[in-house]
Structure 1
């Protein structure tokens, strides 16, 4: 379970909710996905013994979780700026960034502005280049459209949640995601859709240019992202396997199988972070 959030007013930016373990040790910065909160995504991971030697930091995107609604900071470019502002304001040292889904895309966009990042773990995040990549990066899943819809009824949430988890995920895993989706600003999702329609930064070019080690993780039963696409993505600094498949998990492995995910994260962090 995450600690109580602290509201952080960013210089020339919005106010965001920050969660900090306060412990010493190398830093893990944990980023949630579209309309999700840090608590719903990483709550089960926070106390995993494999991560006990690390300072764990997370924050909620504007309009999501415990962060105030701030429509001027939705989309793609603005949240990536928020990420850079959070890192600078907290004065984070050498850091491993974990980006889940949209959080991974935003981490890629901000990566050139984050000189102290020593590793990037992308979870359910297929790096995109041209618009045509969407058809190959994502599986043909009609429920994905709900992630860009403003209002979500209870029936629509019931359709969407299984796409974010493994099939027949227990209510204990569905409940935190449902709460986060209900809590988020309905304007967040259409603003994201509009930004994607206007053009996504060339994430593959960012990967080719970076010296930062990058690892790709995917739940074995992920209903949204193509494992084949991730494996074929050109990433000169790729760490470990082409794709680290997490057994027993769908699109949100840190919630579904926290012990296995924590072990993977600890191995990656130990390999790339100075102790």
Structure 2
């Protein structure tokens, strides 16, 4: 994500109770898709998907989470920086925009937020996740779904050094990033409490049990997972039980933690097919 931004659409802001959220909306009449980015990232990480979906007539909304990008830091961090807190902020945004039904695409932290929304909100009709193992919200659950590493430990660190910024961003994308890149600037800008409290709240069980959610929720779910992800235990994904998983198994693609960025063509082919299926006359919207 070196220097690339989704500049074709005007950024807007709305107040959603947790401060102002910055977002892009493309318009379109084929159904709405909400894109939810990862920890310490920003909406521009979905530049390839915004263009792809908008060109196919979908109404795409991509927002910076509270404490990230151009959105405000949360005025009440413990309440906002959790999976339910982020889900509430995004749900409020979609309600303000008058969107009553939408698909969610979530990457990494965005996938956990997506699982929260998908399993609790009627408005969310389907979910595609990448870089997100559905876990029980506990230390043992996280240990099952994630791979331990020094870089993984940064996910909950409040204060980042310059070296931390580069290490975390490079692991995200699977390639070295420059300190002047847009992603590096967004990592450095992220409210440190957003990382610390998100991890603390998640490990304390604040949110839905994601293993139960994927086993019991009948709404469509897709998993498009990079096979060389340094954070996710890919074999764990195959051990879970799913109620309605697209293609019956997790879809494993080339790339690491961010296949939507590094392998955009391959990822978008799956994304387009899934959204088309769940938006068509035989689908759910």
Please report the TM-score for the alignment, with normalisation by the length of structure 1. Answer: 0.90
Higher mean alpha-carbon deviation, 137-146 vs 127-136, is at 127-136
* Aligned partner (choices 42, 47, 52) of residue 37 of structure 1: 42
**CA separation of 1:114 and 1:274: change in aligned 2, threshold 3 A:** farther
Cα deviation digits, residues 42-61 of structure 1 (max 9, x gap): 12332237953322111111
Q: Contact 1:148–1:189 (CA<8 Å) still a contact in 2? A: yes
* Aligned partner (choices 190, 193, 213) of residue 187 of structure 1: 193
Q: Contact 1:98–1:104 (CA<8 Å) still a contact in 2? A: yes
State the 1:13 CA deviation.
Answer: 4.3
* Aligned partner (choices 71, 81, 84) of residue 77 of structure 1: 84
Say which SS state the counterpart of residue 129 (structure 1) adopts: coil
Say which SS state the counterpart of residue 269 (structure 1) adopts: helix
Cα deviation digits, residues 57-94 of structure 1 (max 9, x gap): 11111110110111412233311211221222222243
Say which SS state the counterpart of residue 245 (structure 1) adopts: strand
Q: Contact 2:166–2:178 (CA<8 Å) still a contact in 1? A: no
Equivalents in 2 of 1:19, 1:130: separation in Å? 31
Query: Which residue of structure 2 lines up, in the alignment, with residue 272 of structure 1?
Result: 278
Q: Contact 1:152–1:182 (CA<8 Å) still a contact in 2? A: yes
Is structure 2 residue 259 aligned with structure 1 residue 253? yes
Say which SS state the counterpart of residue 199 (structure 1) adopts: coil
Say which SS state the counterpart of residue 195 (structure 2) adopts: helix
Is structure 2 residue 141 aligned with structure 1 residue 137? no
Equivalents in 2 of 1:51, 1:218: separation in Å? 24
Kindly report the root-mean-square deviation, in angstroms, between the aligned alpha carbons of the 2 structures.
2.2
Equivalents in 1 of 2:221, 2:189: separation in Å? 32
Query: Which residue of structure 2 lines up, in the alignment, with residue 226 of structure 1?
Result: 233
**CA separation of 1:241 and 1:177: change in aligned 2, threshold 3 A:** farther
Q: Contact 2:18–2:66 (CA<8 Å) still a contact in 1? A: no
State the 1:24 CA deviation.
Answer: 2.4
Is structure 2 residue 63 aligned with structure 1 residue 63? no
Equivalents in 1 of 2:267, 2:137: separation in Å? 30
Equivalents in 2 of 1:80, 1:62: separation in Å? 11
Query: Which residue of structure 1 lines up, in the alignment, with residue 219 of structure 2?
Result: 212
Number of paired residues?
Answer: 270
Cα deviation digits, residues 197-249 of structure 1 (max 9, x gap): 322431122222312110111112210001111111111100015121221x2
Say which SS state the counterpart of residue 28 (structure 1) adopts: strand
Query: Which residue of structure 2 lines up, in the alignment, with residue 240 of structure 1?
Result: 247
Extract unaligned runs of 5+ from structure 1.
Answer: none
Say which SS state the counterpart of residue 25 (structure 1) adopts: coil
Extract unaligned runs of 5+ from structure 2.
Answer: 1-5
Please show how residues 96-115 of structure 1 align to structure 2 within 5 Å. Answer: 96-115=103-122
Query: Which residue of structure 2 lines up, in the alignment, with residue 175 of structure 1?
Result: 181
Equivalents in 2 of 1:21, 1:130: separation in Å? 34
Is structure 2 residue 169 aligned with structure 1 residue 128? no
Say which SS state the counterpart of residue 112 (structure 2) adopts: helix
Say which SS state the counterpart of residue 44 (structure 1) adopts: helix
